[in-house]
Amino acid sequence: MHHQGGEGQWGLKVTLNLASSFIQVLEPHSQPPGMDHLTVAASTWLIKELPVSDPFTFEQGDRRSMLLSLLTRRTPDADGTTFGLVLTVLVLAGGVAAFTICRLRQGAAEIRWSLAGVGLFLVFFHAMQQWHPYGFRYFILIAPWLGLVAAWWLEGLSRGARRAAWIAALLSATLVGAHTLTQTHNAAWPMVARPDKSIYSYVFRAWRSWLQELDTAGRPLEVTLPFNRELAPFYRIEGPRTVSLVETETLQGLSAEQAVARNPQAWLITTPQQFAGNEGHVLRRTWFFQGDETSVYSLVAYRAKIAGEGP
């Protein structure tokens, strides 16, 4: 997440970003079984109160669309899951108790200091960061203090209530954790148990098949993709092909025609955005994930045309 100031609108930025993070806490896959429908209904209603557009999101993204996409996923997104409503309620209960009816109880002062630190973090984080759902991962920095406040409140309950509350809290955490670790699309378990159902398996097999159909077998491949994109499929295609990586920075300011002229025999594999509107006279082949050229899994291949060769 990029840092960027509020440009004189710090209050509005903090308010919008805090509200978005709170709505994200209601993300259905972060809740124990039975609570997901309730949180989806509540979060969908709250999203309507957010602006259609604002300057405080990462890369000027639409916060409404990003939240709705997260809330309507059929499987959890490990980058967008949160600590859920259960921990939030426990922390709020502990905070209220530490400042009111239990302010003289042992450890209450430490709890108040912990909550003050959490509050400072939340204000600073939401003031400095351009909001994006993946930014919630940074909340791991305050997780120990949130857990401390929740545990302090649970320990203050009567014996029977304390035991029941601890069992419920631990069961909730176990169920949510297991669900996320085994069902998210980028978890290891689905890749082992259901490799044919994995999005990566599907994309990798489709890429390999597409690459092998790029006319003459053995024609070199030059791959230039943004940071953190998958490269394994390019090295696992059948038949001899030379595969080399090209730094994206070396292509800045070039058209696709100029880029492939550096090695006319090779296919240049890149994203649809790399040469959008600046292709020139080249042979072009595409593979779009589910027909979406904006997908991070979509690819375009360019090659210099041979004399007399068609489109």
Model pLDDT for residues 282-297, shown as the tens digit of each residue: 888 999 988 888 888 8
- Do both 151 and 290 map to the same domain? no
166: CB partners within 8 A, 6+ apart: 154
Look over the chain and give the mean of its residue pLDDT values, rounded to a whole number. 87
Domain for residue 202, yes or no? yes
**The predicted structure's pLDDT at residue 216:** 65
Identify the band that residue 142 occupies on the pLDDT scale cut at 50, 70 and 90. Answer: very high
Identify the band that residue 5 occupies on the pLDDT scale cut at 50, 70 and 90. Answer: low
The rounded distance, in Å, linking the Cα atoms of 301 and 241 is 15
Whether the per-residue pLDDT at 306 is higher than 60: the answer is yes
**The predicted structure's pLDDT at residue 286:** 92
Whether the per-residue pLDDT at 45 is higher than 60: the answer is yes
pTM greater than the 0.85 cutoff: no
Q: What is the mean pLDDT of residues 151-170?
A: 95
- Do both 18 and 138 map to the same domain? yes
Domain for residue 311, yes or no? no
Whether the per-residue pLDDT at 2 is higher than 70: the answer is no
Domain for residue 309, yes or no? no
Provide the residue type at 244 as one letter: S
- Do both 221 and 287 map to the same domain? yes
User: Last residue of a domain, which of 160, 191, 222?
Assistant: 191
The rounded distance, in Å, linking the Cα atoms of 177 and 87 is 13
The rounded distance, in Å, linking the Cα atoms of 81 and 248 is 32
Model pLDDT for residues 180-236, shown as the tens digit of each residue: 888 887 677 777 777 776 777 788 888 888 888 887 667 888 888 887 777 778 877
3-state secondary structure of 245: strand
- Do both 174 and 283 map to the same domain? no
Model pLDDT for residues 50-105, shown as the tens digit of each residue: 988 888 888 777 889 899 988 888 888 888 889 999 999 999 999 999 999 998 89
The rounded distance, in Å, linking the Cα atoms of 170 and 155 is 14
Whether the per-residue pLDDT at 277 is higher than 90: the answer is no
The rounded distance, in Å, linking the Cα atoms of 144 and 114 is 10
Q: What H or E segment, with its residue span, contains residue 68?
A: helix 63-71
**The predicted structure's pLDDT at residue 234:** 80
Domain for residue 5, yes or no? no
**The predicted structure's pLDDT at residue 110:** 94
Are residues 95 and 111 in contact, defined by beta-carbon separation less than 8 angstroms?
yes
Pairing assessment for the beta strands 267-270 and 221-223 based on DSSP bridges: parallel
Model pLDDT for residues 116-134, shown as the tens digit of each residue: 999 999 999 999 888 999 9
Q: Tokens at residue 98, please? A: 């530490």
Task: Please give the residue range of the domain that contains residue 213.
Answer: 198-303
- Do both 127 and 274 map to the same domain? no
- Do both 186 and 230 map to the same domain? no
Domain for residue 73, yes or no? yes
The rounded distance, in Å, linking the Cα atoms of 70 and 135 is 13
- Do both 179 and 210 map to the same domain? no
Domain for residue 4, yes or no? no
Provide the residue type at 250 as one letter: T
- Give the number of domains in the chain: 2
Please, which contacts does 11-15 make with residues 24 or more away whose CB atoms are closer than 8 Å? Answer: 12/54, 12/56, 13/56, 13/126, 13/127, 14/123, 14/126, 14/127
User: Last residue of a domain, which of 164, 191, 218?
Assistant: 191
- Do both 142 and 36 map to the same domain? yes
Whether the per-residue pLDDT at 6 is higher than 60: the answer is no
Domain for residue 159, yes or no? yes
**The predicted structure's pLDDT at residue 296:** 85
**The predicted structure's pLDDT at residue 309:** 64
3-state secondary structure of 157: coil
User: Last residue of a domain, which of 158, 175, 191?
Assistant: 191
Provide the residue type at 196 as one letter: D
Identify the band that residue 240 occupies on the pLDDT scale cut at 50, 70 and 90. Answer: confident
**The predicted structure's pLDDT at residue 292:** 87
Characterize 75-101 residue by residue with b for buried, 16 or more Cβ atoms within 10 angstroms of its Cβ, and e for exposed.
Answer: bbbbebbbbbbbbbebbebbbebbeee
Whether the per-residue pLDDT at 4 is higher than 60: the answer is no
- Do both 69 and 93 map to the same domain? yes
- Do both 182 and 266 map to the same domain? no
DSSP state of 256: H
- Do both 153 and 117 map to the same domain? yes
